[in-house]
C-alpha cells in the first residue's frame, strides 16, 4: 500500500493498530507532506521499531517525472506511473499564487469531440496517491508551495469520484499540504448523480461544469455524455446543488470557431443561466492536431463576451497559458506514447 493514499485519520487508525500513538501518525503526516521525505529512514522522532513496521507495510510514492516543458509562467510535467502509464500536470504562475492542474485518470471515456484526452480511451483510474504525488513532485521541482489546485487535467474526476474525494481530504489536511478547500476546483462534464453526491460533501470545494453548448442538439454533438445526462436535467441538478451549498458555480465554455461561437448561441447561453449564482469562463480553444476544431478569432470572442455582459451574466475570458508548449489536456501524453 502506498502511504500517500491515506488520510490523516486513516493513518492514525493504522498507527493505533500497531500499538503506536496518535501523535506518531501526526508526526508522520508532517514528515510526508511538510518535510517531504524521500525515505522513511529520514524520520528522526519516531521509534525505530514503529518505523520498521511502517516501512514493511507501506511504500513511499510511486510516480516519477519523465519530462518537463517550461515557458515563462507555465510548466508542464509528464509523469510515469508504476505500470508505465503516463499522465500530465500543468503548473501556472498567477499574481495570486501558484496553481496546478492535475489529472484524475489515464485517458478518459467521455469522448468529447474537441478534446485530446477524450480521443484516447480510459486505461484506468488514478489512485488518490497518484493525484497527491503530482502536487508533491511539482512542489519539489519548484522548491515552493502550490496554493491552488484544479482537477482539470486528463480524465473525468466524477468518473473516479471516491479517489477524487480521498485526494481532497488528503491535500486539505492542516498537517499536510494545507490547500484550502476554497482553493480547490473540480471540473466535470456533468455526471448528475455525482453532482448530487458532491453537494453533500462538507468541504467548500468549487465546482466547474464543462458546458460548451447552450442546447441539447449541439451539446450532444460535442459531448456524447449529454445523451446520458441531458442539459435540462443537468441544469435542474445544478440549481439544486446551488441551493444546497450556496457555492458559486463556474460554467466553462470553450469557443470553437463556427461551431458554438455565434451571437445566437451567446444569447441562448445567457438565457440558460440567467439568475443563477454562477459565472461563465470563456476558454480560447487550444488547437490540437487531428481533431478538426479551431479557435474562434479574438473579435468573435469579444462579441460573445459582450452579449453575455449585456445580459447581466458574470463572465471572464480565461487567461491563456501554454499555447507555446503542449498545454492542451493530454497533448504531452499523446506525444510521448505515440512516438
Ligand atoms: N473531464 C472534466 C475535466 C477535464 S477537462 C471536464 O470535462 O470538465 C478540463 C477542461 O478543459 C474542460 O472544460 C474541457 O472541456 C477543456 N478542454 C479540453 N480540451 C481543450 C482544448 N483543446 N482547449 C481548451 N480547453 C479544452
Which residue has a Cα nearest atom 12 of ligand 1? 210
Residue with cell 515557458: 71
Average pLDDT for residues 279-285, to the nearest whole number?
A: 95
* Cα 19 to ligand 1 centre (Å): 47
C-alpha cell at 325: 508548449
User: What is d(CA 74, CA 324) in angstroms, rounded to the nearest whole number?
Assistant: 10
Q: Check 27, 69, 88, 252 and give the catalytic one.
A: 88
User: What is d(CA 249, CA 206) in angstroms, rounded to the nearest whole number?
Assistant: 7
pLDDT digit string, tens, across residues 16-30: 999 999 999 999 999
pLDDT higher than threshold 50 for residue 300: yes
Least confident of 58-67, 203-212, 278-287, 328-337: 328-337
Domain positions in the chain: 3-57, 64-337
Whether the CB-CB separation of 288 and 116 falls below 8 Å is answered with: yes
Model-level pTM? 0.95
pLDDT higher than threshold 70 for residue 36: yes
C-alpha cell at 280: 461563465
Which residue has a Cα nearest atom 21 of ligand 1? 286
Average pLDDT for residues 90-104, to the nearest whole number?
A: 95
Q: What is the pLDDT of residue 339?
A: 44
Which residue has a Cα nearest atom 18 of ligand 1? 115
Q: Give the pLDDT band of residue 331 (cuts 50, 70, 90).
A: low
pLDDT digit string, tens, across residues 52-69: 999 999 999 989 999 999
| Average predicted confidence (pLDDT) for the chain | 94
Q: Give the pLDDT band of residue 337 (cuts 50, 70, 90).
A: low
CATH fold of 64-337, please?
Answer: TIM Barrel (3.20.20)
Q: What is the pLDDT of residue 296?
A: 95
Ligand 1 interacting residues, C-beta cut-off 6 A:
110, 112, 114-115, 152, 156, 187-189, 210, 252, 254, 283, 285-286, 288, 328-329
What residues form DSSP beta bridges with 74? 92
pLDDT higher than threshold 90 for residue 256: yes
Q: What is the pLDDT of residue 335?
A: 66
What would be the CATH architecture of the domain defined by 3-57? Orthogonal Bundle (1.10)
C-alpha cell at 152: 482539470
Which residues have C-beta within 8 Å of that of residue 109, sequence separation ≥ 6? 118, 121, 122, 156, 159
Q: What are phi and psi of 327, to 5 degrees?
A: -90, -5
Residue 329 falls in the annotated catalytic set: yes
Give the C-alpha distances (Å, rounded to integers) separating 166 from 132, 148, 308: 10, 17, 37
- Smallest Cα–Cα separation from 141: which of 87, 82, 63, 84? 63
- Smallest Cα–Cα separation from 231: which of 271, 200, 285? 271
* Cα 277 to ligand 1 centre (Å): 22
* Cα 260 to ligand 1 centre (Å): 15
pLDDT digit string, tens, across residues 187-206: 999 999 999 999 999 999 99
Q: What is the pLDDT of residue 119?
A: 74
Average pLDDT for residues 299-315, to the nearest whole number?
A: 97
pLDDT digit string, tens, across residues 111-124: 999 998 767 799 99
**How would DSSP label each residue in 254-293?**
EEBTTTT-SHHHHHHHHHHHTTSSEEEEEEE----TTS--
* Cα 117 to ligand 1 centre (Å): 9
Residue 13 falls in the annotated catalytic set: no
Which residues have C-beta within 8 Å of that of residue 7, sequence separation ≥ 6? 166, 169, 170, 173
C-alpha cell at 14: 493504522
Whether the CB-CB separation of 210 and 164 falls below 8 Å is answered with: no
User: What is d(CA 229, CA 247) in angstroms, rounded to the nearest whole number?
Assistant: 22
Amino acid at each position: 500500500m502506498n502511504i500517500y493514499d491515506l488520510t490523516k485519520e486513516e493513518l492514525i487508525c493504522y498507527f493505533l493498530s500497531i500499538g503506536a500513538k496518535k501523535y506518531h501518525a501526526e508526526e508522520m503526516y508532517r514528515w510526508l507532506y511538510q518535510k517531504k521525505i524521500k525515505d522513511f529512514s529520514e524520520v528522526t522522532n519516531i521509534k525505530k521499531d514503529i518505523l520498521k513496521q511502517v516501512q514493511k507495510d507501506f511504500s513511499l510514492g510511486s510516480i516519477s517525472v519523465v519530462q518537463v516543458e517550461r515557458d515563462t509562467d507555465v510548466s508542464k510535467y509528464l509523469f510515469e506511473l508504476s505500470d508505465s502509464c503516463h499522465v500530465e500536470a500543468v503548473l501556472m504562475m498567477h499574481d495570486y499564487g501558484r496553481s496546478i492542474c492535475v489529472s484524475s485518470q489515464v485517458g478518459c471515456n467521455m469522448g468529447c469531440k474537441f478534446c485530446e484526452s477524450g480521443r484516447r480511451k480510459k486505461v484506468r483510474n488514478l489512485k488518490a496517491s497518484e493525484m497527491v504525488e503530482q502536487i508533491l513532485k511539482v512542489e519539489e521541482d519548484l522548491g515552493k508551495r502550490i496554493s491552488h489546485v484544479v482537477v482539470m487535467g486528463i480524465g473525468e474526476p466524477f468518473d473516479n469520484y471516491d479517489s477524487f474525494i480521498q485526494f481532497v481530504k488528503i491535500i486539505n489536511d492542516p498537517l499536510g499540504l494545507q490547500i484550502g478547500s476554497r482553493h480547490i476546483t473540480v471540473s466535470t462534464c456533468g455526471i448528475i448523480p455525482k453532482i448530487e453526491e458532491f453537494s453533500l460533501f462538507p468541504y467548500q470545494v468549487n465546482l466547474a461544469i464543462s458546458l460548451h453548448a447552450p442546447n441539447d442538439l449541439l451539446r450532444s454533438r460535442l459531448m456524447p455524455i449529454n445523451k446520458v445526462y441531458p442539459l435540462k436535467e443537468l441544469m435542474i441538478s445544478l440549481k439544486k446543488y446551488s441551493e444546497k451549498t450556496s457555492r458559486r458555480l463556474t460554467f466553462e465554455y470553450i469557443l470553437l470557431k463556427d461551431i458554438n461561437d455565434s451571437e445566437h448561441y451567446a444569447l441562448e447561453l445567457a438565457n440558460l443561466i440567467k439568475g443563477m449564482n454562477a459565472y461563465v469562463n470563456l476558454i480560447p480553444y487550444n488547437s490540437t492536431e487531428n481533431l478538426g476544431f479551431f479557435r474562434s478569432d479574438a473579435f468573435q470572442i469579444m462579441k460573445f463576451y459582450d452579449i453575455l455582459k449585456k445580459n447581466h451574466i458574470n463572465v471572464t475570458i480565461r487567461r491563456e497559458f501554454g499555447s507555446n508548449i503542449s498545454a492542451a489536456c493530454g497533448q504531452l501524453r499523446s506525444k510521448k506514447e505515440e512516438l
